């Protein structure tokens, strides 16, 4: 399998794969749409990310999994400029965006859907979508029409207040709101959190629909099996560091990842 072990006790027979990942992540040439290289980051004096390196390529869905408190949401916040890297770099299409303000990062082409408070409940669906496009200079009507076509449930309820939507529908609105800026990359934090399994499955379908709109997706997901199930690749984060990475299928098939992080035997 292509899973790379980065722990000190990693088997030595996988050294070449580990080397290959490291080489890619220390050479921010712009080959990757998004690339974190050896990032340290945290809150106040508290360090959370420790030498964290990962990347996202065009067209991919990449899932970030790991235990509670591993730093998964912190990765997204650091990419989106809510936190400034203490060390290391964040490159987007080869440009260093580390520490850039979130409103500028949105204009660059990265969207972010936080886990909570991701829609305005007192505003209508239409108003939420328009809010998502305040930084657009033109083309707002056309992109909103496209989003209504892509997500018909929003079209049907365009004048309803967002607070009347179900949890799953709210997630769809949150995705659509971020897509009004037509980002290259969408960062999504735990899209299935708090949803019943059937609804979560629908939301994962909508993540795939987002990806079908030429948007690469970096997703944090507690439901690791389901998240990896729709992803091309994955990273296992533990204590702020990438412990394993590889094709999503190979992570799902890995006995070690399964035992340590997927609740398997």
Binding interface with ligand ATP (CB under 6 A): 43, 46, 48, 66, 68-74, 220, 222
Question: Closest approach of Cβ 137 to ligand ATP, in Å?
Answer: 33
Residue (6 or 128) nearer to ligand ATP, CB = 6
Classify residue 181 by its DSSP letter: T
Question: Closest approach of Cβ 251 to ligand ATP, in Å?
Answer: 16
Residue 164, CA distances (Å) to 41, 121, 157 in order: 37, 8, 10
Residue 253, CA distances (Å) to 8, 12, 249, 258, 262 in order: 22, 20, 6, 7, 10
Residue (69 or 94) nearer to ligand ATP, CB = 69
Contact assessment for residue 190 and residue 117, using Cβ atoms and an 8 Å cutoff: no
User: Phi and psi dihedrals of 27, rounded to 5?
Assistant: -130, 75
Going by C-alpha positions, the residue among 100, 109, 107 that lies closest to residue 78 is: 100
Q: Which residues lie below 8 Å from residue 198, measured CB to CB, with a gap of 6+?
A: none
Residue (153 or 193) nearer to ligand ATP, CB = 193
Question: Closest approach of Cβ 20 to ligand ATP, in Å?
Answer: 26
CA dist., res. 205 & res. 103, Å (int): 28
Question: Closest approach of Cβ 109 to ligand ATP, in Å?
Answer: 23
Residue (184 or 189) nearer to ligand ATP, CB = 189
- The CA-based dihedral angle spanning residues 189, 190, 195, 196, taken in that order and rounded to the nearest 10 degrees: 150
Question: Closest approach of Cβ 160 to ligand ATP, in Å?
Answer: 30
Question: Closest approach of Cβ 43 to ligand ATP, in Å?
Answer: 3
Residue (65 or 172) nearer to ligand ATP, CB = 65
Going by C-alpha positions, the residue among 99, 39, 40, 42 that lies closest to residue 69 is: 42
Residue (223 or 254) nearer to ligand ATP, CB = 223
Residue (88 or 132) nearer to ligand ATP, CB = 88
Question: Closest approach of Cβ 189 to ligand ATP, in Å?
Answer: 8
Contact assessment for residue 81 and residue 99, using Cβ atoms and an 8 Å cutoff: yes
User: Phi and psi dihedrals of 29, rounded to 5?
Assistant: -85, -5
């Amino acid at each position: 399998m292509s899973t790379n072990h980065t722990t000190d006790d990693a088997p030595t027979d996988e050294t070449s794969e580990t080397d290959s990942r490291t080489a890619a992540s220390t050479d921010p040439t712009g080959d990757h749409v998004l690339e974190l290289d050896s990032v340290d980051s945290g809150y106040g004096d508290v360090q959370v990310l420790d030498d964290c390196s990962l990347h996202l390529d065009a067209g991919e869905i990449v899932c970030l999994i790991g235990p509670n408190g591993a730093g998964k949401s912190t990765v997204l916040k650091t990419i989106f400029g809510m936190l400034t890297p203490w060390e290391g770099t964040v490159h987007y299409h080869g440009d260093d965006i580390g520490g850039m303000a979130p409103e500028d990062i949105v204009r660059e082409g990265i969207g972010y859907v936080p886990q909570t408070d991701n829609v305005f409940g007192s505003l209508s669906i239409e108003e939420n979508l328009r809010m998502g496009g305040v930084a657009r200079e033109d083309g707002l009507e056309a992109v909103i029409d496209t989003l209504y076509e892509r997500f018909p449930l929003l079209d049907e309820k365009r004048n309803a207040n967002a607070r009347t939507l179900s949890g799953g529908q709210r997630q769809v609105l949150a995705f659509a709101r971020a897509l009004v800026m037509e980002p290259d990359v969408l960062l999504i934090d735990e899209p299935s959190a708090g949803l019943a399994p059937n609804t979560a499955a629908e939301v994962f379908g909508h993540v795939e629909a987002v990806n079908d709109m030429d948007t690469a997706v970096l997703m944090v997901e507690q439901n690791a099996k389901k998240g990896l199930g729709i992803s091309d690749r994955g990273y296992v984060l533990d204590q702020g560091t990438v412990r394993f990475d590889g094709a999503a299928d190979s992570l799902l098939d890995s006995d070690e990842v399964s035992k340590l992080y997927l609740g398997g035997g």
